[in-house]
Amino acid sequence: MLALMMDRPLTLPSILEHAARYHGEREVVSRSVEGPIHRYGYADALSRVKKMAKALLALGVKPGDRVATLAWSTHRHFELYFAVTGIGAVLHTINPRLHDDQIVWVARHAEDSVLFFDITFSEQVAQLAPRIASVKTLVAMTDRRHAPDGVLVYEDLIAAETDDFDWPELDERQASGLCYTSGTTGNPKGVLYGHRSTVLHALALALPDAFDLSARDVVLPCAQMYHANAWCTPYAAPLVGAKLVLPGRQLDGPAVCELIEKEEVSFLLGVPTIWVGVADHLDQTGGTLTSVRTIAIGGSAPTAALISRIEQRLGGQVRQIWGMTETSPLGVINTPLPAHGGETEGETLQRKLKQGRGLWGVELRILGEDGRELPRDGRSSGALQVRGPWVSSAYFKQDGAAAFTDDGWFDTGDIATIDAEGYLRLTDRAKDVIKSGGEWISTLDLEDAVCSHPAVAMAAAIGVPHPKWDERPLLLVTLRPGRTAEPEALKAHVAERVAKWWTPDEVRIVDELPLGPTGKVLKRELREKLAISATASQS
């Protein structure tokens, strides 16, 4: 027997309609690519979104068509989040930090028909667009004055329309967004989000034990809008009526600090490297922030030293999350339980090093090498698999990817433990694992240990072949500006903090570590470089 409740679909336009009606004056503030700060309320945003939706229809965009963006986090990108999806098309947010060949590859794979781009990328687009046969329309996300020749202009499209527009009826399972993971191996893989998955994820994200978002919040996502939809905050913020601050292209310390101070930001999110930059800037200026309540950190695991530094400098509490493009991205979040009320400062910090606990909606399991589920004892470490209504079921145009199990789980490629309280702790990426004498050594634990040394900025542990133990760890570190340290002293520092057989055979100080397009250390590249250097030294 079916319920007798209204069959209202969960769709993205309903979010902005709600925000416009109940939080019409609440601002979306963005640092424009042209320079100045742009600000308007959700009611004005909706009006422009409706005009853009009509413009897209006039350009011939059909339901299911892929519309690409090569753009930073700005109000125009925000408008496309709703205009493109609201007419049933799919917003493909291309990561501009990809190599040109990869940009061409994903745009061809997605069969994008329209490409919206920020003027930062005008020359790049002029070169690349001819290589993407499917793209028939180019739109510069600016006004006539700033636009290059020979393309359509965003503000002209808006100006040509009125805002009398009713959204079409949408199936909530319809695709809404396409985001390729910047895979460190193989070709990029397309994650195809839907209206339903995004709305459910936005609801869960706003819950008190997740991001705790209300109409009183000011949200500044320091993950770009091409990076797992800026962790879905451009949808979650209007859903609850929070003020949304979009940082444009500038995620350096001074630019982010300026926005936090001027807009009284309460909620921040981003990868660890962003907060290093902010903390460095505050160190230099001696400035103090007063409005921040929470800094959500994900993308890669911060060290204990970095968590302490960020909390001291930014004045809020760090909440680590774990997630992936394939999980929309929220998988787990580190929110304290009532039982943690009596923690010492040290215990709090140790807890914050874990990635977090599952919220309703995301199921987790860890499997041993024999494929059997492992106990949640905080020690047994295995392959992390997840399941839930905002988790990918397949990659776009790629049948039978091994990451999707026959029994309906997504194999994340991460290695993790889960403890009795339900806290997930990543020990490795499966592909980065160091296996020594038949046992796993956690690269994250090694990196954490060396980063607790005051001279260390960043670290990366990788496995190097060893005739007896198969692999032994090598620890590469960069130093903080103006600091010095001897490799042997760093090795001794690590030795005090990890099991004896985990202690790396060598700690090597390097000038820099190669970072991928989302700020993660590219360990594959490190391994490749080292193989060359090893050969060189042998010759």
Binds a copy of itself by CB under 8 A, chosen from 12, 15, 260, 276: 15
Nearer to a copy of itself, 361 or 519 (CB): 361
Stretch that binds a copy of itself, among 286-294, 388-396, 495-503, 512-520 (CB under 8 A): 388-396
Binds a copy of itself by CB under 8 A, chosen from 42, 395, 469, 502: 395
The SS3 of residue 107 is helix
* Contact call for residue 176 and a copy of itself (CB under 8 A): yes
The SS3 of residue 116 is strand
- Taking the complex as a whole, the smallest distance from the CB of residue 355 to a copy of itself amounts, in Å, to 14
CB atoms within 10 A of CB 185: 7
Nearer to a copy of itself, 215 or 489 (CB): 215
The SS3 of residue 269 is strand
Write out the two tokens for 530: 């080292």
- Taking the complex as a whole, the smallest distance from the CB of residue 246 to a copy of itself amounts, in Å, to 19
* Contact call for residue 11 and a copy of itself (CB under 8 A): no
Task: Give the Å distances, CA to CA, from 450 to 39, 288, 459, 504.
Answer: 43, 28, 7, 11
Residues 399-438 as x/- pattern, contact with a copy of itself by CB under 8 A: ---------x-x-----------x----------------
Nearer to a copy of itself, 408 or 437 (CB): 408
Rounded to the nearest 10°, the torsion over CA 390, 13, 10, 177 is -30
In this structure, are strands 317-323 and 330-333 parallel, antiparallel, or unpaired?
Answer: antiparallel
Stretch that binds a copy of itself, among 193-201, 254-262, 490-498, 525-533 (CB under 8 A): 193-201
Q: Where in 109-128 is the site for a copy of itself (CB under 8 A)?
A: none
Peptide bond into 487 cis (omega under 30): no
Residues 318-347 as x/- pattern, contact with a copy of itself by CB under 8 A: ----------x------x-xx---------
Write out the two tokens for 184: 């460190």
Q: What is the 3-state secondary structure (H, E, C) of 23-48?
A: CCCCEEEEECCCCCEEEEEHHHHHHH
Binds a copy of itself by CB under 8 A, chosen from 208, 342, 346, 400: 208
Residues 344-383 as x/- pattern, contact with a copy of itself by CB under 8 A: -------------xx-x-----------------------
Binds a copy of itself by CB under 8 A, chosen from 13, 96, 188, 241: 241
* Contact call for residue 315 and a copy of itself (CB under 8 A): no
In this structure, are strands 114-117 and 137-140 parallel, antiparallel, or unpaired?
Answer: parallel
Angle between helices 12-22 and 42-58 (to 10 degrees): 140
The number of angstroms, rounded, from the C-alpha of 412 to the middle of its chain's C-alpha atoms is 15
Residue 139 parent element (H or E): strand 137-140
d(CA 311, CA 388): 32
* Contact call for residue 536 and a copy of itself (CB under 8 A): no
Nearer to a copy of itself, 15 or 135 (CB): 15
Nearer to a copy of itself, 360 or 501 (CB): 360
Binds a copy of itself by CB under 8 A, chosen from 106, 203, 271, 353: 203
Spatial contact of 142 and 124, defined as CB atoms under 8 Å apart: no
Nearer to a copy of itself, 39 or 527 (CB): 39
Spatial contact of 163 and 53, defined as CB atoms under 8 Å apart: no
* Contact call for residue 396 and a copy of itself (CB under 8 A): yes
* Contact call for residue 216 and a copy of itself (CB under 8 A): yes
Stretch that binds a copy of itself, among 28-36, 126-134, 194-202, 279-287 (CB under 8 A): 194-202
The DSSP annotation for 192-255 comes to EEEHHHHHHHHHHHHSTTTT---TT-EEEE-S-TTSHHHHTHHHHHHHHT-EEEE-BT--SHHH
Spatial contact of 485 and 456, defined as CB atoms under 8 Å apart: yes
Nearer to a copy of itself, 402 or 532 (CB): 402
Nearer to a copy of itself, 169 or 496 (CB): 169
Residue written as tokens 């694992």? 433
- Taking the complex as a whole, the smallest distance from the CB of residue 234 to a copy of itself amounts, in Å, to 15
Stretch that binds a copy of itself, among 171-179, 287-295, 455-463, 503-511 (CB under 8 A): 171-179
* Contact call for residue 41 and a copy of itself (CB under 8 A): no
Residues making up the chain, counted from first to last: 539
d(CA 42, CA 17): 9
Spatial contact of 434 and 462, defined as CB atoms under 8 Å apart: yes
Nearer to a copy of itself, 335 or 427 (CB): 335
The residues near 216 (Cβ < 8 Å, ≥ 6 apart) are: 242, 266
> Phi and psi at residue 396, in whole multiples of 5°?
-60, 125
- Taking the complex as a whole, the smallest distance from the CB of residue 21 to a copy of itself amounts, in Å, to 7
Q: Which residues are catalytic?
A: 181, 326, 435, 440
Q: Where in 51-110 is the site for a copy of itself (CB under 8 A)?
A: 63-64, 90
Q: Residues touching a copy of itself: how many (CB under 8 A)? A: 65
Nearer to a copy of itself, 22 or 40 (CB): 22
d(CA 38, CA 18): 22
Task: Give the Å distances, CA to CA, from 484 to 454, 457, 460.
Answer: 10, 11, 18
Question: Where on the chain is the footprint of a copy of itself (CB under 8 A)?
Answer: 1-8, 10, 14-15, 18, 21-22, 26, 63-64, 90, 171, 173-176, 191-197, 200, 203-204, 206-209, 212-216, 239-241, 328, 335, 337-338, 357-358, 360, 387-396, 408, 410, 422
